[in-house]
Amino acid sequence: MDFDLNEEQLAMERMARNFAEKEIIPNLKKEEFNRELVRKMGELGLFGSAFPEGMGGSASGFLAHSVVCETISTYDSGLRALFNLQAMTVPYAMMEWGCEAVRKKYVKALVSAEKLGCTCFSEPNAGSDIAAIETKVVDKGDHFLINGSKTWISHGTVADYAVVYCTHDRSLKHNGLCAIVVETNQPGWQPHEIPKLGDKASPIAEIGLEDVVAPRANLLGEWGSGFKVAMTALDRGRISVGSGAVGICQACLNASVKYANERVQFGRPIRDYQMVKHLIADMVTYTETARLMVRRGAWLNDQGRPFTREIAVAKYFAGEAAVRAAGWAMEIHGGMGYSLELPVEKYYRDSKLYQVGEGTANIMRLLIADDALGLKKANRPRLKVPGDFRDLS
Ligand SMILES: Cc1cc2nc3c(=O)[nH]c(=O)nc-3n(C[C@H](O)[C@H](O)[C@H](O)COP(=O)(O)OP(=O)(O)OC[C@H]3O[C@@H](n4cnc5c(N)ncnc54)[C@H](O)[C@@H]3O)c2cc1C
C-alpha cells in the first residue's frame, strides 16, 4: 500500500491552496455566489483532474480530484458543489453516457467553467426515492418535451446546462427514467432561488419545467436507462461530497488547534485541559479516518475497479465526521464559536449538508448493510457504457 500522494497530486494540492489563500479567503465573509471566482477556478483547471486532455482535463485522476476538492472545501465548503456540477455529476456523466455531439458541445465548456452546470434529480415528491420522479418526458421524434418540477437544485438559477432526470412512464419506476441534457436558455426553464442554512456560495433553486425542449441527441444512455446514469453519477459525486466533508473536518481542526493554543482560562491555555485534548484527538482521528476512506474510493475508481460500496462507506463516515468535528470546534471555541467573527459557525452550518446530499446518511446505511447482509451486492461489475470514451483513440 502506498499512502503517499505523487508529485502531480501534491502540486495540484499546492495550486488549490495558493488559489484559495489569494482568491477565496478575502471574499469568504460575503457568502455569495461569485461567477468570476468560478471562472478563475475553471481556468486554473481545478475541475479537470479526472478528465482526459481532449476534454479539457489534466488526466490526473479521481484521487487528484479528491485532493483538490478537499483543499478548496477546507477554505470554503460552499464551493464544494462545483466539483460535482463542473466535474463529476454533470460533465463526467455527459462524457460517460452522452453521444459524440454531447461530449463535444458540453463537456469542455463545463470543465473550463466557461458554462455552468446543474443536475436535477430531486422533486417535491421524490428525494431519496429517485424512482418516484414525476417529471414527464415525451418523445416527439426529433426532440423531447419535458414538463414537471424540480427542487433543491444547486446552481439551478445560474446554470447554462442541466442534466434532467425524468420519466417516460411512471408505472415502470426505475425502468422508466431517462437522463436528458437540457439547455436552460428557454422560456420553459423557470428557476426561483430558495434560501437555505449554509453553503451560501452555491445558490439553490426550485425549478418549473414547462414544455422544455431538448434535441434527441441529448439523451444520456438509452431510453429508460436513466437510473443507471443516475447511479454512476451519484457514485462519482460521492467522491466530491466525501472530500468536501474531509475539508470541513480539517478546517475545524485547524481553527480549534489555533484557538486551544491561544485561549487562556484559569491562568493556562485551554490546550492544557484534558477534556479539550480529548476533543482535539477525536477531531484528528475522525479527519484522518475519513480522508483515508474517501481516498480509497477515489483510488479504486482510478484503477477502473468497482467502488460503490467503498465510496458509500466513505461518504457516510465523512459526513458524520464533518458534523461531529463542527460541533466539537464550536465547543472548543466557547462563545466565540457562536460569534459571526470567526468561521466556526459557518463550518457548523455548512457541515449538516454532508449528511443529506448525494444520498442521505440513512440511504448510505441501507446500501452498506444490504451489502454486508448479502441482500444486495453494492459492487457489481463496471457498467459497460455506450461508446466508452476510454476506448476512443
Ligand atoms: C444544500 C443542498 C443541495 C442539494 N443539491 C441538489 C442538487 O443539485 N440536485 C438534486 O437533485 N438534489 C439536490 N439536493 C437534494 C438532496 O439530494 C436531497 O435532499 C436528498 O436526496 C434527500 O431527499 P429529501 O430531502 O427529499 O429527503 P427524504 O428522501 O424525504 O428523506 C427524509 C428523511 O427520511 C429518511 N429516509 C428516506 N427514505 C428512507 C429509507 N428507505 N430508509 C431509511 N430512511 C429513509 C432520509 O434519510 C431522511 O432522513 C440538495 C440538497 C441540499 C440540502
Find cell 491561544 and name the residue: 262
Question: Does residue 127 line the site of ligand 1, with CB under 6 A?
Answer: yes
DSSP reduced 3-state for 2: coil
Q: CA 204 → CA 30, 125, 151, 329, 368, distances in Å?
A: 17, 17, 8, 27, 29
Q: CA 262 → CA 202, 255, 377, distances in Å?
A: 33, 11, 50
pLDDT in the model for residue 384? 55
Question: Does residue 122 line the site of ligand 1, with CB under 6 A?
Answer: yes
Mean local confidence (pLDDT), 134-139: 98
Question: Does residue 128 line the site of ligand 1, with CB under 6 A?
Answer: yes
113-122, 248-257, 382-391: which has the minimum mean pLDDT? 382-391
pLDDT in the model for residue 201? 96
Statement: residue 389 has pLDDT above 50: no
Name the CA dihedral angle for 140, 143, 146, 151, rounded to a multiple of 10 degrees: 160
Ligand 1 nearest atom to the CA of residue 366, by list position: 42
> In DSSP terms, which residues pair with 214 in a beta bridge?
144
Among residues 70, 320, 345, 358, the one annotated as catalytic is: 358
Can you spell out the DSSP letters for 15-53? HHHHHIIIIIGGGGGG-S--HHHHHHHHHHTTT-TTS-G
Question: Does residue 366 line the site of ligand 1, with CB under 6 A?
Answer: yes
Question: Does residue 132 line the site of ligand 1, with CB under 6 A?
Answer: no
pLDDT band at 387 (very low <50, low <70, confident <90, very high): low
Residue closest via CA to ligand 1's atom 38 equals 128
User: What is the whole-number distance in angstroms between the Cα of residue 359 and the centre of ligand 1?
Assistant: 6
What digits encode the pLDDT tens for the residues 151-204? 999 999 999 999 999 999 999 999 999 999 999 999 999 999 999 999 999 999
Question: Does residue 15 line the site of ligand 1, with CB under 6 A?
Answer: no
Residue closest via CA to ligand 1's atom 4 equals 152
pLDDT in the model for residue 382? 56
User: What is the whole-number distance in angstroms between the Cα of residue 152 and the centre of ligand 1?
Assistant: 9
Statement: residue 221 has pLDDT above 90: yes
User: What is the whole-number distance in angstroms between the Cα of residue 108 and the centre of ligand 1?
Assistant: 30
Residue closest via CA to ligand 1's atom 15 equals 152
User: What is the whole-number distance in angstroms between the Cα of residue 77 and the centre of ligand 1?
Assistant: 19
On whether the CB atoms of residues 68 and 60 are closer than 8 A, the answer is: no
pLDDT in the model for residue 380? 74
Question: Does residue 72 line the site of ligand 1, with CB under 6 A?
Answer: no
Mean local confidence (pLDDT), 36-48: 98
Pocket test for ligand 1, best of 118, 152, 197 (most atoms within 8 A of CB): 152
User: What is the whole-number distance in angstroms between the Cα of residue 36 and the centre of ligand 1?
Assistant: 30
DSSP reduced 3-state for 187: coil
pLDDT in the model for residue 171? 96
Question: Does residue 121 line the site of ligand 1, with CB under 6 A?
Answer: yes
pLDDT band at 383 (very low <50, low <70, confident <90, very high): low
Query: Roughly how many angstroms between the first and final C-alpha of the chain, as a whole number?
Result: 31
Amino acid at 302: D
Neighbours of 31 (CB within 10 A): 16
Ligand 1 nearest atom to the CA of residue 156, by list position: 8
Question: Does residue 189 line the site of ligand 1, with CB under 6 A?
Answer: no
Residue closest via CA to ligand 1's atom 36 equals 362
Question: Does residue 12 line the site of ligand 1, with CB under 6 A?
Answer: no
Pocket test for ligand 1, best of 323, 352, 360 (most atoms within 8 A of CB): 360
pLDDT in the model for residue 391? 42
pLDDT in the model for residue 1? 81
Domains belonging to the chain, first-starting first, are 7-111 (1.10.540.10), 117-223 (2.40.110.10), 228-391 (1.20.140.10)
Mean local confidence (pLDDT), 13-17: 98
Pocket test for ligand 1, best of 73, 79, 128 (most atoms within 8 A of CB): 128
Residue closest via CA to ligand 1's atom 30 equals 127
Statement: residue 265 has pLDDT above 80: yes
C-alpha grid cell, residue 14: 499546492
Mean local confidence (pLDDT), 217-240: 96
Annotation says 134 is catalytic: no
Mean local confidence (pLDDT), 281-299: 98
Residue closest via CA to ligand 1's atom 35 equals 362
